[in-house]
Structure formats: C-alpha cells, structure tokens
Chain A
C-alpha cells in the first residue's frame, strides 16, 4: 500500500517524545514522588523521541524490512 506505516508511527512517537520531554524539563518536579523520584516524563520522552526518529528515517528511506 502506498503509505509507509513507519512514517506516521515515527511522527506520532516523535511528537509524544517532544511533549513529554518539554513537560518533564519545564513542568513541576514535585509530581514525580509517585514515580519514585524518577523524572519519568523526561526519560521516557527521550526514548520515545529516539524511537520515533529512527522509524521516521527508515520510512523516509523506504528501506524494505527484511522480515
């Protein structure tokens, strides 16, 4: 099918990543008591952004996954 699914996945995860990183870096830090004092928004946001970018780049290059 014409649309490479990796593009929307990459885009969505990148947006989520940026949102979470922004909120984790700038927002109130006292909310992280419940997540065991881990700034989970920041860290998980970074991971999601990384994954999103990889998916997006793979989709852009149109490399066929060899599975």
Chain B
C-alpha cells in the first residue's frame, strides 16, 4: 500500500525528531535546562507547544469520531471546553505559577499549602501521566495494525504479522526516549512545535479535498441531518440535541469544572508556560495557543462530519476500494471478535467512529500525501506521549524524589535522576500499554478513578490563589472530599440504557442521565462543589497561614505584573479580549 515516497517522508520526519534532540543536547547543563528548558522559550514557541502537548491521540482521532457522531456540537469541547479556561489561566493564574518560581504545579501547592497537599497531587499526577502515555502508545500500535501500515514490509522480511503491535510500541517508545533523554523539555517542546505544523500540513489538504468532494459547505448541509450542523440548537433539553446534555450541564460541567480543571491545573500543559522566557511570555503562552485552538475544529472535527455525510455515489466515483458495506459514509460498522457487525437493541449496526479520520486519509490521499498524512497522525500520538513523559520526569524528580527520598543532593544528581526517570517512565508506559491489551476493563476503571481525582482540583486552586484565608488542611480535605463525592455520584447514577458497573450505579441507581456525557459532567459538578464548600468551611475553622508566607502566591498579596514595556496589542489583556470576542463570533455563526 505505501510506496517508497511515503516511507521516505516518514523516515525524514523521524530523523528530524531525533536530530532536534541531538542539536539541543549541548544546551542541557543543569536540571533547570532539562526540566524547564532553562526558562528560555519564546512566547510563540511555548504557545504552540502548549497546544501540541494536549494534541495527542484523543484529539485527532477522538474529535474526528465525535464529529461523525455528534456533528458540529463537538466544537463545544473547544469553544466552551478550552478557550475560556486558557484565557483564565493566562491572565489570572500564570502570575502565581510563574511568579512564585515553582518548578511544577505540585510544588506550587507545597508553597501555597503544605506537604501533604503536594504529595497527594504529585503522586496521583505521576501515576496518571504514566497510564495516559501507555494508553496513547497502545492506541497508536492498534491504529498501525488496523491501517496495515507495516504489513507489507513485515511480509517481505518474513516476520509474523502479530509482531507489528510489539514493533510499533517499541519503536515509538525508543524515539520518544531518545529525544527526551538528549534534550529534555527543550527537545520535547521543539518537537511539539514541529508536530503542530505537521498536523496542520497533513490535515488541511484532507479538509480541502473532502469539502470539494461533498460540494462545499452547502453540500455538507444537504447530505446531513440538520441536527449535525448546529452547536447550540436544541440545547435547552438533553433529548433534543446529539450530545444528550442540556446547556447548564454543558456550561458548568464541561465549560467550567472539567475545562478549568484541565487547562488551569494540569502540569502537562502548565509546564510549557513555566518554560517561557519571561512573565509576559508565560502569560501569553495559553493565549497564543488559544488562536489555533479555536480553529482546530476545522482540521479535526470537519473530517469526521464529511466521513459520515459522504454519499455512496461519490465514494464509488473516486475510490471504490474504500467503500465498506453496512457502514455509513466512510465509517464502517463495529465488528466483534469473530468479524460479525455489532448491532444494538434495535438491530441497527453500531458504527466504528474512531475510523472516521483514518478512513478519510486512506480515501482521499494518493501515494505521497498519504505518507505525509500518516506521519502527521503518528506525530500526534508521539507529542501526546512525550508531553506525559516530560511532565512525569519533572514531578517524579522534584516533587517525589527530591522531597521524600533524597533531599539536598547536587544538581547534577537530579539531572541524572531526571534522565533515569525518563527511562523508567517510558518502561512503565510500555507496561501500561500491554496491560491495556490484556485488561481493557482495568484501563476503563483507572480512567474513571483519574476523573474522580481531577474533578475537584480547580476548586482548590481557585480558592488557593484568590482567597488568602484558605488553609492547607482545608485544601487537602477538600480534594479528598471532592474525589469521594465524585465516586459516590458515579456509584449512584447511570446513563440511559447503561448497565450497573463501570458505567456507574454500582451502589444503587438513584438517578438516570440521558447520556454518559451528561453523567460525566454532573459527576464533575458535584465533585467541584463538594471540594469548594468543604475547603471554605474547614479554612474558617483552621489556623490561617501567615501573610508574609503567601506573598507571590495569592492574588491579594501579589504585585500586578507590569506590562508597560509591551505594545498594547501584545499585552495579555488585549489578546484575551480578542480571543474571547472571536470565540463568541464562532459560537454565533455555528449556533
């Protein structure tokens, strides 16, 4: 299937990826160079890396799948579920993250609260990153198998086909390992920027060809039910829109709790801003990222919409080989283990939405561009993996190793530890990837537990940064309480048609939500509220921190950052207003 030219593109890309690591190696002299890129990254580079680190497998494949399933309302994950939080972290929170000189998010918690709050956050974060990168690896190896990328070369060399999975895992692990070991966060960030441009280059022609084929925007509209084409229509009731969520659950659950919890507290993305070369660059990092972020639905959601809308006639004309029976558009039915299509209770075939974007690539891209498209896809997996690995090695070294295992060693020792952490972080990810192949349920449960741990986080940070009365005991109890509330809520509710178990209701079913998404959003809302209230109440009955210890950590005790040297259009506040204005316009256009 792939020709020499496709392989050439892929190989050139991998040479560059590792080459960047080699090229920046000589600048890595201290642990700060390795973990925080020497705090020397310009704003636009940090901004694109901020975006790219989050652009893992879940994004490119998952958003294409959601586009095919939910239509344009998938854009809520961008315009409601990312942009406002990105603006908030840049304008209001970065002064404390960057200004406190904390080297990680858990370390900020140590400075602001106490050791136990840091420990809780550091350990849960470290475990989470290892599993996320393992899941990313697993998804990539699976995709390589499904797309038959390595089938021909393996056949040529007489190797058994099942080895493709192992080979894909090992090779991706080795590449990520090589460039992070060499250049640390700098090479991860540089590669993320490279990956950003590559993903744009790989997906823009796909959108162009797809739209041209289906007859432009009006052709897309004509081929799809109108419920696919709106983001806000029908949001007053969970049963009248494709997402199965009502506007309040969407705005509060996704737009506030989940989105702010991720973009404002997750060290994976914050680390990119902490590596920026100045306070104003750090503040602009998420704001610069917000511009491409708000346009990304065009690149990742639109292919999914085209894939489901494409009429049979057009597919036969251009590429009959790609047509699958029993599916819809370019999306095939889901198959069970013996190759029979899976049907739901009404006898309708379930669709394998995850194949929407990959099938679009195979359908439209000729030899040459196909190599580029697949390389872009692999790049997106790797950037997600590398992001997790760099966040893991930093939190491990600074917040776990230096804090609890070996205090007061030399900087060279911590630099060495960071490299070791990179190696065993990747080994653990590989182990997690294999675990995913054997025990799918365990992975689902783990992700559920992570969701419980993450949901209350933003309440703690919000109170910690903006209310000086918040105490360490309160923060710690609030986090635990919020996690327990999330678990309880999940255990007491079920989505419609769901079975008690990993989907919820494992205690008793007290309430049924119209969709799994609605249940997730409300779980987050309950967790956040519990943490928020609990933290306030306990703060009021515990002894406050001394004010002089909180300088630079809390809003009311920190000087406002000076932006006088920047031209008006480059100031964070200006950028923030432009970003929010444009997002509003997008929401109105696609309402």
Contacts and interface: CB of A to CB of B under 8 A. Distances in A.
A5 B44 CA distance: 11
Contact of B38 (A1, A9, A16): A1
Contact of B201 (A3, A35, A38, A48): A48
Contacts of B42: 64-65
B16 A44 contact: no
B363 A19 contact: no
B284 interface: yes
Interface in A4-18: 5, 8-9, 11-13, 15-16
Interface in B184-212: 186, 190, 193-194, 197, 201, 205, 209, 212
A47 to B, nearest CB: 8
A66 interface: yes
B497 to A, nearest CB: 39
- Interface of A (DSSP majority class): helix
Interface in A47-67: 48, 51, 64-67
A33 B321 CA distance: 12
Given A24-B368, A40-B205, A34 B38 contact: no
A28 B484 CA distance: 62
B288 A36 contact: no
A23 B5 contact: yes
Interface residues of A, number: 32
Interface stretch (B19-27, B58-66, B389-397, B503-511): B19-27
A36 B369 contact: no
Interface residues of B, number: 45
Nearest to A38: B209
A5 B372 contact: no
Contacts of A64: 42
B196 to A, nearest CB: 9
Nearest to A64: B42
B364 interface: yes
A35 B209 contact: yes
B19 A41 contact: no
A33 B197 CA distance: 27
B8 A19 contact: yes
A35 B366 contact: yes
B366 A65 contact: no
B365 interface: yes
Interface of B: 5, 8-9, 12-13, 16, 19-20, 23-24, 26-27, 37-38, 40-45, 47, 186, 190, 193-194, 197, 201, 205, 209, 212-213, 284, 288, 318-319, 363-369, 372, 567, 570
Given A1-B38, A34-B366, 4 more contacts: A2-B26, A19-B5, A34-B364, A40-B365
